[in-house]
Amino acid sequence: MLCSMTGFGRAVCDAPLGKLTVEIQSVNRKYLEVSVSSPKEFSRFELDVRKWVGTFVQRGQVFVRISLIPNEAALQTQLPDPKVIKELKKGWEKIAKSIGTDPKEISLSFIMQYLGLSSKPDSVGEKDKASLEKCVVEALKGLSKMKQMEGKALAADLSTRLKLLEQRIGEIEKLAPDATQKMRTKLLDKMAELLNKDVETDERLIKEIALFAERVDISEEIVRFRSHIVQFKELLKGTVVGRKMDFLIQELGRETNTIGSKSMEAKISHLVVDMKSELEKMREQVQNLE
């Protein structure tokens, strides 16, 4: 099933440290880019988070936001050691006395400026990593589900536009022989008018006109256009095919431009304009596919 590059997934899980919330959002990008925002307790697992994302997402810019509401036990581990605070207070009071400052001005808020809240060793371990992985994977599953829903809608739209392109190229194919014959007749009449003689009897001119008619023939472009359509339909059955589809749309556009430049038939020109419009809409849709 086709997947869009746009999606969102969210998961809330219990962890040894408290309540974990993981939100994952993805948007269009040519390659896979992963940005991770997490509390300092989980910063050591950032490379693991990127690896977990890579198993679910092949292309796009992915934003992972991890938040934690710590439980009572986790909060206790974050509190500084009272012995350290006492010793620090004594030290600053001694300094205050030596410079003639009232030691009573050494308050708790003053001391905490020089003491981080994480003075105890980091207690985050493998159990916390396992909880984080579970939560990230759950959010990724939600992200994948939304991406598949978006992809299904995009596939339906692309299929509709492919059918329209097939109709247009079919109409052009019917008009092509008449267009070539009209061009040949027009050239003969114009040459006869300019040279004031029967051009049909001039073998050299007839060969030149035949060569020109061959150059404006669009049968090869029509065959290639149909071949690209068949390949595109096959890609609609795949999964990570956004880049291949983008390439095929470029090829379809190239064939369409060649048909438009070769043909001087007004009806064909109008059909070419319609086809270019559909291809541009398809290009915009394909840019959303993974």
pLDDT string in tens for the chain (290-residue length): 789 999 999 999 998 888 999 999 999 998 899 999 998 888 889 999 999 999 999 999 999 999 998 876 665 666 677 787 788 888 888 888 888 888 877 887 777 776 654 434 456 678 889 999 999 999 999 999 999 999 999 999 999 999 999 999 999 988 876 655 566 666 556 555 555 555 555 565 556 555 555 566 788 899 999 999 999 999 998 877 888 999 999 999 999 999 988 877 788 889 999 999 999 999 999 999 98
Q: Are residues 189 and 280 in the same domain?
A: yes
Q: Within 13 Å and on the Cβ side, how many CA atoms surround 44?
A: 8
Residues 6+ apart with CB under 8 A from 154: 2, 4, 285, 288, 289
Q: Are residues 42 and 57 in the same domain?
A: yes
Whether residue 175 is contained in a domain is answered as: yes
Owning domain of residue 31: 7-74+125-148
Whether residue 105 is contained in a domain is answered as: yes
Asked whether the beta carbons of 245 and 231 are under 8 A apart, the reply is no
Q: Are residues 221 and 245 in the same domain?
A: yes
Q: Are residues 107 and 131 in the same domain?
A: no
CA distance 9 to 148: 12
Q: Are residues 195 and 105 in the same domain?
A: no
User: What are the structure tokens assigned to 185, written together?
Assistant: 């007749």
Whether residue 2 is contained in a domain is answered as: no
Q: Are residues 32 and 14 in the same domain?
A: yes
> What does the H/E/C string look like for the chain?
CCCECCEEEEEEEEECCEEEEEEEEEECCCCEEEEEECCHHHHHHHHHHHHHHHCCCCCEEEEEEEEEEECHHHHHHHCCCHHHHHHHHHHHHHHHHHCCCCHHHCCHHHHHCCCCCCCCCCCCCHHHHHHHHHHHHHHHHHHHHHHHHHHHHHHHHHHHHHHHHHHHHHHHHHHHHHHHHHHHHHHHHHHHHHHCCCHHHCHHHHHHHHHHHHHCCCHHHHHHHHHHHHHHHHHCCCCCCHHHHHHHHHHHHHHHHHHHHHCCCHHHHHHHHHHHHHHHHHHHHHCCEC
Q: Are residues 13 and 143 in the same domain?
A: yes
CA distance 157 to 169: 19
Q: Residue 231 corresponds to which amino acid?
A: Q
Q: Are residues 64 and 106 in the same domain?
A: no
Q: Are residues 132 and 208 in the same domain?
A: no
How many structural domains are present in the chain?
Answer: 3
CA distance 285 to 250: 14
CA-nearest of 253, 218, 247 to 232 is 247
CA dihedral 49, 53, 59, 63 (to 10 degrees): -60
Q: Is the pTM of this model over 0.75?
A: no
Identify the domain boundary among 62, 90, 112: 112
Q: Are residues 253 and 160 in the same domain?
A: yes
Whole-angstrom CA distances from 179 to 11, 79, 216, 220, 222 are: 62, 86, 9, 15, 14
- Amino acid 224: pLDDT: 95
Whether residue 117 is contained in a domain is answered as: no
Q: What CATH number is attached to the domain comprising 129?
A: 3.30.230.10
Q: Are residues 15 and 99 in the same domain?
A: no
CA distance 73 to 139: 26
- Amino acid 228: pLDDT: 96
CA distance 59 to 30: 7
- Amino acid 84: pLDDT: 76
Q: Are residues 97 and 205 in the same domain?
A: no
Whether residue 119 is contained in a domain is answered as: no
Q: What CATH number is attached to the domain comprising 221?
A: 1.20.140
